[in-house]
Amino acid sequence: MNDLIIKQGTLINGDIIDIVINDGRITAIGPSAATGLASIREIDLHGHYHVSAGWIDAHTHCNPQSPLYFDEPDLIGASSGVTTVVDAGSTGADDIDHFYTVARKAKTHVYAFLNIARTGICRQNELADMAQIDNERLQNAVRRHKGFIIGLKARMSKSVIGDNRLLPLIKAKIMQRANGLPLMVHIGNPPPNLEDIADLLTKGDIITHCFNGKPNRILDDAGNLKQAIQRALARGVILDVGHGTESLSFSVAEQAIKFGAHPHMISSDIYQRNRVGGPVYSLATVMTKFLNMGLSPEYILNCVTINAANLLHLPRKGRLERGYDGDITIFELKNQRIKLVDAEGQIRIGTQQFIPIAAIIAGVHIVVAENAAAKNMSAENIPTQNAATGRSRVNGISL
């Protein structure tokens, strides 16, 4: 008997499919894949809701014990329709062991970019003291947590590095060569200048906060894409949104997209303060902002599924295919007006939005998104069948 069958989910292209999950993996998928099969649980969407591979948020801060930027993995993850979250440098070599223990208790899949500072972000200027960069301790941490640590993180803005300019990034590139992991680089206020940062990056490195409106923005004074960014993109450097409290400008993003500088990954840089008080709120909200900046629903979904999985080297994630992990996001793509605000207070009025309904993780954990519960959706909306007890009414859609 299979663990879970999802019937009549609608893909973003309009196709209606069944998905069969067993032992944490997708075992069958297609228009009639569930015909004649039995399962412990069954969800029939009746074609009313969209399904995609589970959403991946490539930049979060989800270590509950982090002193500056913190949150609970399941609040920013499964409860928001996100099946996989990546903590972007909250922890360093000194505290990654504890974070690993915390992360393993979450329903949401959790991974980490390891901060090149051994302390992680325990204070705002973690890279102002070069003694905080300890290559031996970092490499030992990477070896201990292979598969959990999926990259390195360097925050390269004046408030973080003090007077060290490019030295932390130069050190990070040396450390990276020893383990081959992707390097995510935070850009903020100079120094160092973005051009100098970009020229040091190589294929697979990630520029996060790529559409910030600060002096280190990716556009020059004339509004054109900086030459250094063009060269970096040609080398295979990745653009990641990393919305955050201060790092998404509608005007910068809109202009960059006009030049073809589309984000490769759409991420939130979410933590408790900007989740509760905005302007981030959720990954779905960030996705909605790009939907209303002209990117197609298909492109946006790719940014939080297959692109993120490929660029972060997450095996068996990001696709609705046989043999891939049974991570599914159920959502609506709803036509309705919505007020959208960027990190600079600019306002756009959107006409369509992503609304997560539920996250299914490894075919086992089924977590209803907070906004779906707020809509008081019932079992008639998303009915579920239990093989032992038969169809039962649930509170909201707590499946």
**What are the residues facing 30 on neighbouring strands?**
18
Average pLDDT in the 48-61 region?
98
Average pLDDT in the 93-99 region?
98
pLDDT tens-digit map of 318-347? 999 999 999 999 999 999 999 999 999 999
pTM of structure: 0.94
pLDDT score of 380 more than 90? no
Average pLDDT in the 385-397 region?
34
> What pLDDT is stored for residue 374 in this prediction?
43
- pLDDT band at residue 369 under the 50/70/90 scheme: confident
The DSSP call for residue 383 is -
> What pLDDT is stored for residue 372 in this prediction?
61
**What are the residues facing 360 on neighbouring strands?**
328, 366
- pLDDT band at residue 385 under the 50/70/90 scheme: very low
Q: What is the 3-state secondary structure (H, E, C) of 176-227?
A: HHCCCCCEEEEECCCCCCHHHHHHHCCCCCEEECCCCCCCCCCECCCCCECH
Phi/psi for 355 (5° steps) reads -125, 105
- pLDDT band at residue 224 under the 50/70/90 scheme: very high
> What pLDDT is stored for residue 178 in this prediction?
96
Average pLDDT in the 28-37 region?
96
pLDDT tens-digit map of 276-314? 999 999 999 999 999 999 999 999 999 999 999 999 999
pLDDT score of 381 more than 80? no
Q: Measured in whole angstroms, how far is the alpha carbon of residue 336 from the centre of its chain?
A: 24
Least confident of 25-39, 129-143, 322-336, 378-392: 378-392
pLDDT score of 98 more than 50? yes
**What are the residues facing 302 on neighbouring strands?**
none
pLDDT score of 395 more than 50? no
Computed over every residue of the chain, the mean pLDDT equals: 93
**What are the residues facing 238 on neighbouring strands?**
206
